[in-house]
């Protein structure tokens, strides 16, 4: 299993950052490079506990779909999403939010497993982990920009 941990500091309220993080429209905006589009489930606005979203995006030159469900939510402090269908063997993304002195610390913990045995492990080691890290960093950059404009 691969784990990616990222921390992003944002000058905004925790509620703003939390809501932007679960906003389907913001996700689509922040993943413009892969042309991600919500095609089923919750397809716009805020996604909530037990709701699903199915994404379709272009990764590595091919269109892939990924269905995830919000499995846990503690308003403004934490939520997690878990893949129900997609290209990974498993995929679990946790989002943590804390605020101190007007600065929100947003922590992402993404854990995933690749299919295809040794080939999947090599692909992950050489390409996928860097790609997923960049994907999350870019998403967080856009979230930070949007949140700080609203602050």
Q: What is the pTM of this model?
A: 0.94
What are phi and psi for residue 88, nearest 5 degrees? -90, 160
Q: Where are the domains of the chain?
A: 2-150
Fold topology of 2-150: Alpha-D-Glucose-1,6-Bisphosphate; Chain A, domain 4 (3.30.530)
**Residue 101, token pair as written in the block:** 């002195």
- 23: tokens are 């906003």
CA angle 67, 90, 72 (to 5 degrees): 65
Q: What is the 3-state secondary structure (H, E, C) of 28-97?
A: HHHCHHHCCEEEEECCCCECCCCCEEEEEEEECCEEEEEEEEEEEEECCCEEEEEEEECCCCEEEEEEEE
Q: What are the φ and ψ backbone dihedral angles of 9, each rounded to 5 degrees?
A: -100, 130
| Residues 96-135 pLDDT 10s | 999 999 999 999 999 999 999 999 999 999 999 999 999 9
Per-residue pLDDT at 151: 74
Q: How many residues does the chain have?
A: 151
Tokens of 25: 């429209």
Averages of pLDDT over each 10 residues, the chain, 151 residues: 98 97 96 92 98 96 96 97 98 98 97 97 96 96 96 74
Over the range 116-140, which residues count as b (16 or more CB within 10 Å of their CB) and which as e? Answer: eeeeeeebbeeebbeebbebbeebb
């Amino acid at each position: 299993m691969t784990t990616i941990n990222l921390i992003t500091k944002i000058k905004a309220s925790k509620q703003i950052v939390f809501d932007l993080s679960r906003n389907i429209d913001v996700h689509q905006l922040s993943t413009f490079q892969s042309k991600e589009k919500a095609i089923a489930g919750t397809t716009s606005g805020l996604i909530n506990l037990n709701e699903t979203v199915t994404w379709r995006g272009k990764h590595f030159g091919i269109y892939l779909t990924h269905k995830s469900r919000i499995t846990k939510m503690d308003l403004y402090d934490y939520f997690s999403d878990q893949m129900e269908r997609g290209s990974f063997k498993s995929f679990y993304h946790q989002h943590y939010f804390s605020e101190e002195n007007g600065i929100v610390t947003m922590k992402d913990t993404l854990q995933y497993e690749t299919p295809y045995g040794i080939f999947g492990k090599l692909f992950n080691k050489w390409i996928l982990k860097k790609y997923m890290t960049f994907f999350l960093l870019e998403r967080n950059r856009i979230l930070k920009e949007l949140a700080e404009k609203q602050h």
